[in-house]
A and B are shown apart, each in its own frame.
Chain A
Amino acid sequence: MSTLAVTAGVRFALLLGIGLAIGFALERFGFGFAGPWRRLILQRNGQGVMAQLVAIGLTAIAIQPLIAFAPGQMLGAIAPISLTMVLSAFVFGFAMQLIIGCGSGTLVNAGSGNLLAIVALPLFCIGSFLGTLLVPAAVAFTPHPVVSLPQTFGVWGSVGVTLAGLAVVGFIVARYTTEPLWNRKLMIAAIILAALAIVHVLVAGQPWGVVYGLGLWVAKGAVALGWDPSQAAFWTHPINAGALSASILTDTASLTSMGLIGGAALAAWHGAKDTPLWPTLKPWIFIVVALAGLMLGMSSRLAFGCNVGALFSGIASGSGHGWAWMLAGFLGSVAGVRGREWLWARASGEGA
């Protein structure tokens, strides 16, 4: 990190450090997004989802005023809602349940040496890049209205609406769940995650995200192989063109994503010694996992974020697209959980 501070800048070293801390916390505390949704759907266990809601709520209380009172310095994860955005969130929810790896989860799982995530991650990156090529067409051909709660209700009204929305979701989860609602370890993880997400906004000036960096890595590789980005509307926008021409060691999402992998590796290293690399599954499951990774990448780009950029940071920023993502992603997860059960039963030889 000190090397990065000298060669690139202190801000970038801090972002790598934040990523490391997030990855370590997610892996060590077992905090995630896809897994808790699966446990809620299959086991009526809402502990993980309640922890997610607490983390998002705490983050929202801090970052919405920060962003509102520092215009020009701070940027919220505000994105439009559209038909393609909602459908893509559904597809993401489906695919993340197939491999039980969302945006952050795939990085953390890969960092902990999970072979399925290691196979999915490169395709996730490629999918994210392919999604950038489709975003301009999606924006041009379907209405993409932006619903910004801070603009609609003012900052404190937006915080109130966000917390009320989270409380409603929490109430529904509480009514549905048959297990104890609160888990001490997950709540500690939620508080840590919220604190790190707030620090991320203070340092980067924008909320935590994952997918942008993954697509950027492939875009840079494509340029090196002769691809002309001037033909792609997404990459000719000054912000994206700037990111494409700059080092990935100065890209916010890239640094936190690399940190996530590193932090998860640190947390998992000791236990990884006794865990076999190869899963006891039929080889064709790797093709399914690769396709799921591709779906995750493309859908998250078209949905303007994954579970981190859209669900976590979107809702915490007061973006309507975060709420639309939550609903569509959960419905996709309901289908994905069934798909996972069916596929894994055959891949393990139980349902063949």
Chain B
Amino acid sequence: MSRRTGIVIVFICIFAVVSAEWLGGNPPDPYSAPDPMAFGSTSGASGAICSFAPGASQ
């Protein structure tokens, strides 16, 4: 087997995760989508970011 098999396995796993969440009743809602770009819009960053430290003074 070549690494192409590994690539296919990874894609199947990602597809399974996205599908499971979607079918589990959590599809995205295009009607609540933010502006295409945060810059210059009223809908800015989500704040869900790696450096987020709840409880620390930020």
Contacts and interface: CB of A to CB of B under 8 A. Distances in A.
B3 A276 contact: yes
A73 B45 CA distance: 6
A239 B36 CA distance: 20
Q: Is the interface of A mostly helix, strand, loop or mixed?
A: helix
A251 B48 contact: yes
B10 to A, nearest CB: 5
A11 B7 contact: no
A249 B50 contact: no
Contacts of B11: 262, 265
A252 to B, nearest CB: 6
B2 A209 contact: no
Interface string B1-21: 111111101110010011011
Nearest to B55: A139
A248 B17 CA distance: 9
Contact of A272 (B7, B17, B36): B7
A14 B36 contact: yes
Nearest to B33: A9
A310 B41 CA distance: 26
Nearest to B57: A146
A201 B20 CA distance: 29
Contact-residue bracket for chain A: 35 or more
A79 B51 contact: yes
Interface in A191-207: 201-207
B39 A212 contact: no
Contacts of B29: 8, 247
B5 A206 contact: no
A204 B38 contact: yes
Given A8-B29, A304-B50, 10 more contacts: A8-B28, A9-B34, A11-B34, A12-B33, A73-B45, A205-B39, A251-B48, A265-B7, A274-B2, A319-B51
6 contacts: A135-B53, A204-B38, A204-B46, A212-B49, A269-B7, A304-B52
Interface of A: 6-12, 14, 66, 70, 72-80, 110-115, 118, 121, 135-136, 139-140, 144-146, 201-207, 209-212, 216-217, 220-221, 224, 233-234, 237, 239-240, 242-243, 245-253, 258, 261-262, 265, 268-269, 272-278, 300, 304-306, 308-310, 313-314, 317, 319, 321
- For the complex of A and B, list the 3 residue pairs with the smallest distance between their C-beta atoms, beginning with the closest: A9-B33, A309-B50, A205-B38
